[in-house]
A and B are shown apart, each in its own frame.
With several copies, the nearest count.
Chain A
């Protein structure tokens, strides 16, 4: 019964669809319309990514694709590398400036999401989730292994020294140094306070090397630890009571933040999350902290940190007044990457050597396997897994994982304390 409306309707639609073409053909002089159309095409072309592209954009896009490849192909920290990788792509799509598109343009969506990175708000929320998912049992059962988490922080202070030598300002050096802590949230938190202009490079370096821990650490382990020591078997950790687990976050919070109040946002949230987990009466909060909340923040943090690596970013030099490119691919970024690599090596070596030194003072079955010193760099839980894998290579019956978790998580605390110290001295 609708069929009778068919013809007029069809005519109307075709009329409309044809009207534009008619207009081109008939309205006014014709050439004028054609010129306008050409102008329009040109205007649009100047707006596209093709017209605004710079070769450095393509370099960064290649880096982003490589991150995604590493994450999918080798399963290297995919929860970090996928968001950061796609963030690098998003940040390096060329665009005409001044249209609230880019991350660094005020009022753009990316800029709003980046706010939580810039102000250091996301990292404590991630630490809340980490606290709510971390089991500190192995550390509570054998507290002396905690010292290995302190030893590996030599990577931080070595990098501070190295960055100073390379000519970075003290605050910049402090921010760069934290790469050696092998904790992404801590690195972002500290650089947001000490050197916001270097945050992109610092974050990318920290996350890259954390993803590459399975590549970086094994050769250093084999270099510094003789085969016979790599085979040392350790006593299983003692069982830990629920009361100890509840006391740990409370005591840990009070002690560490009294020593290093600047680390309060990080350590406060880490131990808060852990208390939510261990109290046994706030399971629904702990569950949200370690799932929805940490996932949401990880997504937003990853993609905006990635997008902060914009290759082309023309700003006015505050001194000379000329327009300069403050994009990601600068000599400073390269230096930061080099320093980051060294800091991971030094941190690993520091943990390993200190473990051997500790063994000089320990006897019999109390001796520790020095390999677990490498887990002190944190990079939770990858470096603990690397220790496990190396241990199994030397003795297929020697499971070091549970022992390596102790320096591993204490490395997180150590880095946060170190970040607080940097803030105390440099801010």
Chain B
């Protein structure tokens, strides 16, 4: 069996198809690498205005670390609960935890509260 003895259209779809999938997701990657930078810029400006009133803000690096840990833990918890049962209740639990304990989310929700009145 000659593996190459198929129509050239087949080859086109095989190679080109995969490349297009790559291109599409690379496009998405690019955009989503860009978005947080734009948001950061906007947030900084907003924070700048805010700090005049609020006073000291925790150093960003420190905050980020906490936020990261928090996200990692909550996602691990999420998947752990997901294994036990399949429904939604756990997600709500985790959301509550996130809101309650993370200084990062407090900052984030602060920002949201600024943009989203409710």
Cross-chain contact B28 with A143 (CB below 8 angstroms): yes
Flag whether A103 is at the interface (Cβ < 8 A). Answer: no
By a CB distance below 8 angstroms, the chain B residues around A414 are 21, 24-25
Flag whether B97 is at the interface (Cβ < 8 A). Answer: no
**Considering the complex, which residues of chain B in the window 80-116 have a beta carbon less than 8 Å from any beta carbon of chain A?**
82-83, 85-88, 91, 102, 104-105, 108-109, 111-112, 115-116
Q: Can you list 24 A-B pairs with a CB-CB distance of less than 8 A? A: A20-B14, A27-B11, A36-B9, A37-B15, A37-B16, A41-B16, A147-B26, A154-B18, A157-B14, A158-B14, A160-B10, A160-B14, A161-B14, A170-B13, A173-B10, A237-B68, A237-B72, A243-B111, A251-B28, A259-B23, A259-B24, A384-B79, A417-B21, A421-B21
By a CB distance below 8 angstroms, the chain B residues around A41 are 16
Cross-chain contact B17 with A425 (CB below 8 angstroms): yes
Answer whether A381 and B117 are a contact pair too, CB < 8 Å, given A19-B3, A236-B69: no
Q: In the assembly, what is the distance between CA of A146 and CA of B26, in Å?
A: 8
Cross-chain contact A160 with B13 (CB below 8 angstroms): yes
Which one of A73, A244, A247 lies within 8 Å of B117 (CB-CB)?
A: A73
Number of residues on chain B facing chain A (CB within 8 A): 61
**Considering the complex, which residues of chain B in the window 1-57 have a beta carbon less than 8 Å from any beta carbon of chain A?**
1, 3-4, 6-18, 20-29, 31-33, 35-36, 39
Q: Mark B55-86, 1 if CB is under 8 A from A, else 0.
A: 00000000010011111100110110011011
Cross-chain contact B67 with A238 (CB below 8 angstroms): yes
Q: In the assembly, what is the distance between CA of A399 and CA of B74, in Å?
A: 13
Cross-chain contact B35 with A239 (CB below 8 angstroms): no
Cross-chain contact A149 with B71 (CB below 8 angstroms): no
Which of A133-141, A197-205, A206-214, A330-338 touches B? A133-141
Instruction: Give A9 Cβ to nearest chain B Cβ, in Å.
Output: 18
Instruction: Give A300 Cβ to nearest chain B Cβ, in Å.
Output: 18
Cross-chain contact A244 with B36 (CB below 8 angstroms): yes
By a CB distance below 8 angstroms, the chain A residues around B21 are 150, 153, 414, 417-418, 421
Q: In the assembly, what is the distance between CA of A26 and CA of B29, in Å?
A: 34
Main secondary structure of the interface of B (DSSP, over half): helix
Main secondary structure of the interface of A (DSSP, over half): helix
**Considering the complex, which residues of chain A in the window 149-190 have a beta carbon less than 8 Å from any beta carbon of chain B?**
149-151, 153-154, 156-158, 160-161, 164-165, 170, 173-174
Q: In the assembly, what is the distance between CA of A41 and CA of B76, in Å?
A: 42
Instruction: Write the chain B residue with the least CB distance to A144.
Output: B29
Answer whether A33 and B67 are a contact pair too, CB < 8 Å, given A241-B108, A244-B36: no
Instruction: Give B111 Cβ to nearest chain A Cβ, in Å.
Output: 7
Number of residues on chain A facing chain B (CB within 8 A): 90
List 15 additional A-B contacts (Cβ < 8 Å) besides A239-B104, A241-B108. A19-B4, A22-B4, A33-B8, A157-B15, A160-B13, A160-B14, A161-B10, A170-B13, A174-B13, A236-B68, A241-B112, A242-B116, A243-B112, A244-B35, A255-B27
Cross-chain contact B79 with A402 (CB below 8 angstroms): yes
Which one of A252, A291, A385 lies within 8 Å of B28 (CB-CB)?
A: A252
Which one of B6, B22, B33, B115 lies within 8 Å of A243 (CB-CB)?
A: B115
Cross-chain contact B35 with A251 (CB below 8 angstroms): yes
Instruction: Give B116 Cβ to nearest chain A Cβ, in Å.
Output: 6
Cross-chain contact B6 with A165 (CB below 8 angstroms): yes
Instruction: Give A424 Cβ to nearest chain B Cβ, in Å.
Output: 9
Instruction: Write the chain B residue with the least CB distance to A277.
Output: B91
Cross-chain contact A284 with B33 (CB below 8 angstroms): no
